[in-house]
Structure 1
Amino acid sequence: MSAPHNSVPDASARSHAHRVGWTIVAYGFLAVALSATARTLLSLAMPVWESELGWSRSLVSGAGALALLVMALTAPVAGHFIDRFGPRKLLTAGFAVLALGLGMTALATQAWHLLLAFGVVSGVGFGVVAVSAFFAAVAPYFVEQRGFALAVVDSGYTVGPFLLVPLAALLLAQFGWRFEFAAMALACVVMLPLSWRLLPRVAGVQATDGVPDVPLSGRLRELARSPVFHLLFWSFFLCGFTSSGVIETHFLPYAAACGFSGVTAAGAYGLLSGINLLGILLAGWLSDRMNRPLLLAGIYAVRSLSFVLLMQVGDDLSLLYLFSAVFGLFDYATAPVVASLVASHLGVRVMGLSMGLLGAGHSLGAALGALAGGVVFDFYGSYRGLWLMSIVLAVLAGLIAVFIPKVPRLGFRPH
């Protein structure tokens, strides 16, 4: 549709590219908000399924973990597709698949229906309509404001749950879980014409210079040999365990186990998501201005301390909301920092593939966290062991981040 911001010599073409970039940012914000809310529906329905259908938390957590595993397999392929061919066709198809999976979930009556509909079909949709895909689509259009633009896209993960999870909880209470999933499937259908109309047909990095294209195998070899990629991958893997895995899947059931109603717990989760917005935008702004590896390490350190607070909640509503505020400020704040490091240290021409692989690592960590939470609760009747694991792993992620170089080192040029 147009060349990226940092490669167009003509001022008017550069201005047009800038508008295209912000259009992708706006659409990506909305798409990520819907996708994040759809993933949260599993957590909301978990206690209802347990009482209504007899599905254990291990089973439902397993469906969530399966979806994350499918996302992990899908995200690198989707990212490489966007690097090569652009976002329009892929993200339109992704919303179609997600609508199908959520619609199938609304009709589920047996355990294998849930595993197939949410774990596999929806998992593919989640893997395509992912923040990593939009990072790849957005990054080539920005240089000076790249960190902030990526943060705006990532903030959809917080604004969506903040506005829509309380509404989803009300729909669940008033009309049941089937209506809740069907309504989200319909929202995904509405996104299809918007995807086709607003997203560029070609990748932003096409025709930017004379650098010959590198085949997928070559790009994978270069990434595999990059120490920076491995540091980002393993810290982001642990990030997935300590955020999406344990909190996105088990925060609402934990609140229910503490005696809070579904609407109250959803309100606390909504607060977490709202504070998340501030954390993401602040992290994106800071990533354009300070030492990003130290910023990333600091985020992980504070996250580990927040789990200590979570363990003390009991039936104290004020502590539940305090945890939501503290954790929310440092939850998704890692994503724009990591994406900014990928763009500067690994290159925008492999942004989709790199973020897809990192997203896969994040999803694998999240799958392990989601599964561990269900197993720990079923075995001990408590989430205490899960929170202790999360403290240790968040500290480890921060230690890994410290070793990422402050500035890119010469030699890695997959682009």
Structure 2
Amino acid sequence: MPDPSARRLWTAVLVCFVALAAAFSARATLGLVLPTWVGVFGWSRTGISAIGAATLVVMAGVAPLAGRLVDRFGPRVALGAGLSCVAIGCAIVAGAPDGTVLVLGFAGIAALGFGMVATHVVSTAIVQIAQRRRGLALGVATSGATAGQFVILPLAAWVISDLDWRWGFALLAGLALVLVPLLWRLLPPGRFGAARTAPAGLRRDVTELLRAPAFHALFWSFLLCGYTTAGIIEVHLLPYAALCGFAPLPSATAYGVLSAVNLAGMITAGWLADRVNRPALLAGIYLLRAASFLLLLQVGTSYDRLIVFAAAFGMVDYATVPVTASLVASRLGVGRMGLAMGVISSGHAVGAALGAFLGGALSDRFGSYAAVWWSGFALSLLAGWIVLPLLLSDRRPAGSPAPTAAH
């Protein structure tokens, strides 16, 4: 007879996976429409890039609030509200009469949704419900962040190229809207499992987080994670490939390889988090990421080397997410995990914004991306060093249930 608790867990994993796939695909569509908007609205690429930066700022601001929301009311409310914002924002973009309304729709309302339908909210939901195989469940659920690039994003790209960019955003709005009642039906109401006890006051929780050495290790390492992934790689890898002489199609193919391996890397990291020492695993991921930047520095005009880098980096790209979430649960407590992951995810967004900006500034200053990739190498090493002190105090068996509050 099927285990009801296992069925409940994997239903939540599936719902969270699909929600992340929809939200991350909608966010990534900005890159698809960038050339079109340059022509339609007469904007510069810098101006459109500013829309992406503004989106990250809104996401950074809403992340702790979304985390607190899931702590108090459960993931159904947070994810449902987030998908509703994504649907409304994309619908506004689809029907925008001018650029001002378009920016409001994407960098305003949709960005609120991106900040709520995020890996930290999903991680909190899964940790609340999973008592066994927590790492694997985290890895599968959060891998939805990259999985949408294989189905939803290509579909949106086809609609944009064959019909119009407005129809592309209408498609994304419809998808997000359809998911809201589905999510509401499949996810149980309220907080899950150990988190059913109401969280303590916000001021007390924030004070205790700031006093915890583990919080600072995870916050600052995840900030550097944002710089080295969403900041310099997601924004600057394709322009770098163009400078190396690769055409758009092979460059996009290399990025597709990175995304495919990224999906496998997240699930593998989650599986390992149930079986090995988690601080050592997280430090190892950062060290392997540093090594991958050395491969990127050697690409030159060799497409084979670009593919090798894409595969190597993809394995450690988002792999930090399930491991970091598992450590937050065990070291800071499930009862305030949403708040903790929200603040830590804000750091990731800040790091990403810095990476996106400094990546462009350094490449303009030196005429190449070498300094950018060296910064990625150095900061990945630093992130690995920051989490090493957790090795001295993480004595729980890998994948063991976390306490409801940190002591």
> For 1:71-123, what per-residue CA distance to the aligned partner results, in whole angstroms no more than 9, with x for missing partners?
11111111111111112233212111112222333455765445433222221
DSSP-derived class of the 2:372 partner:
helix
1:202 aligned onto 2:190: yes
DSSP-derived class of the 1:70 partner:
helix
TM-score (norm 2): 0.89
Q: Which amino acid aligns with 1:328?
A: G
Q: Distance in 1 between matches of 2:148 and 2:169?
A: 15
Structure 2 equivalent of residue 186 of structure 1: 174
Structure 1 equivalent of residue 25 of structure 2: 37
Q: How far has the Cα of 1:344 moved from its partner? A: 0.8
2:283 corresponds, among 289, 294, 297, to 297
Q: Distance in 1 between matches of 2:108 and 2:333?
A: 31
CA contact (8 A) 1:83 1:205 kept: no
Counterpart mapping for 1:283-362 below 5 A? 283-362=269-348
Counterpart mapping for 1:67-146 below 5 A? 67-107=55-95, 112-146=100-134
Q: Which amino acid aligns with 1:36?
A: F
CA contact (8 A) 1:43 1:250 kept: no
> For 1:229-267, what per-residue CA distance to the aligned partner results, in whole angstroms no more than 9, with x for missing partners?
000000000001111122223333433444444443333
CA contact (8 A) 1:235 1:397 kept: yes
1:390 corresponds, among 358, 376, 395, to 376
Structure 1 pair 133–297 and aligned structure 2 pair: CA distance change class (3 A): same
Q: Which amino acid aligns with 2:30?
A: L
Q: Which amino acid aligns with 1:145?
A: R
Q: How far has the Cα of 1:388 moved from its partner? A: 2.5
Q: Which amino acid aligns with 2:59?
A: M
2:211 corresponds, among 194, 215, 225, to 225
CA contact (8 A) 2:280 2:391 kept: no
CA contact (8 A) 2:86 2:114 kept: yes
CA contact (8 A) 1:133 1:352 kept: yes
Q: Distance in 2 between matches of 1:119 and 1:148?
A: 33
Q: Distance in 1 between matches of 2:272 and 2:97?
A: 48
| Worse-superposed segment, 342-351 or 181-190 | 181-190
CA contact (8 A) 1:249 1:370 kept: yes
Structure 1 equivalent of residue 227 of structure 2: 241
Q: Distance in 1 between matches of 2:230 and 2:118?
A: 13
Q: Distance in 2 between matches of 1:314 and 1:52?
A: 35
Structure 1 equivalent of residue 162 of structure 2: 174
1:160 corresponds, among 144, 148, 154, to 148
Q: Distance in 1 between matches of 2:123 and 2:206?
A: 19
Q: Distance in 1 between matches of 2:198 and 2:43?
A: 53
Structure 1 pair 314–187 and aligned structure 2 pair: CA distance change class (3 A): farther
> For 1:169-212, what per-residue CA distance to the aligned partner results, in whole angstroms no more than 9, with x for missing partners?
4444433433333322222122111121111211104685xx67
Q: Which amino acid aligns with 1:163?
A: V
Structure 1 pair 168–312 and aligned structure 2 pair: CA distance change class (3 A): farther
Q: Distance in 2 between matches of 1:99 and 1:181?
A: 9
Q: Distance in 2 between matches of 1:395 and 1:275?
A: 22
| Worse-superposed segment, 23-32 or 179-188 | 179-188
Q: Distance in 2 between matches of 1:369 and 1:165?
A: 24
Q: Which amino acid aligns with 2:261?
A: I
Q: Distance in 2 between matches of 1:262 and 1:101?
A: 29
CA contact (8 A) 1:62 1:371 kept: no
| Worse-superposed segment, 48-57 or 405-414 | 405-414
Counterpart mapping for 1:45-60 below 5 A? 45-50=33-38, 53-60=41-48
Structure 1 pair 96–253 and aligned structure 2 pair: CA distance change class (3 A): farther
Q: How far has the Cα of 1:52 moved from its partner? A: 5.3
CA contact (8 A) 1:304 1:392 kept: yes
- Note the residue ranges of structure 2 that are not aligned, 5 or more in a row: 397-402
CA contact (8 A) 1:252 1:266 kept: yes
CA contact (8 A) 2:156 2:171 kept: no
Q: How far has the Cα of 1:295 moved from its partner? A: 1.1
Structure 1 equivalent of residue 7 of structure 2: 19
CA contact (8 A) 2:262 2:319 kept: yes
TM-score (norm 1): 0.87
DSSP-derived class of the 1:404 partner:
helix
Q: How far has the Cα of 1:292 moved from its partner? A: 1.2
Q: How far has the Cα of 1:33 moved from its partner? A: 1.3
CA contact (8 A) 2:63 2:343 kept: yes
DSSP-derived class of the 2:359 partner:
helix
CA contact (8 A) 2:199 2:336 kept: no
DSSP-derived class of the 2:151 partner:
helix
DSSP-derived class of the 2:347 partner:
helix
CA contact (8 A) 2:194 2:334 kept: no
Q: How far has the Cα of 1:141 moved from its partner? A: 1.7
**Identical pairs, percent:** 46
Q: Distance in 1 between matches of 2:240 and 2:178?
A: 33
Q: How far has the Cα of 1:36 moved from its partner? A: 1.8
CA RMSD of superposed structures (Å) = 2.7
Number of matched residues?
401
Q: Distance in 2 between matches of 1:66 and 1:81?
A: 23
Structure 1 pair 188–255 and aligned structure 2 pair: CA distance change class (3 A): farther
DSSP-derived class of the 1:403 partner:
helix
Structure 1 equivalent of residue 251 of structure 2: 265
Q: How far has the Cα of 1:30 moved from its partner? A: 0.8
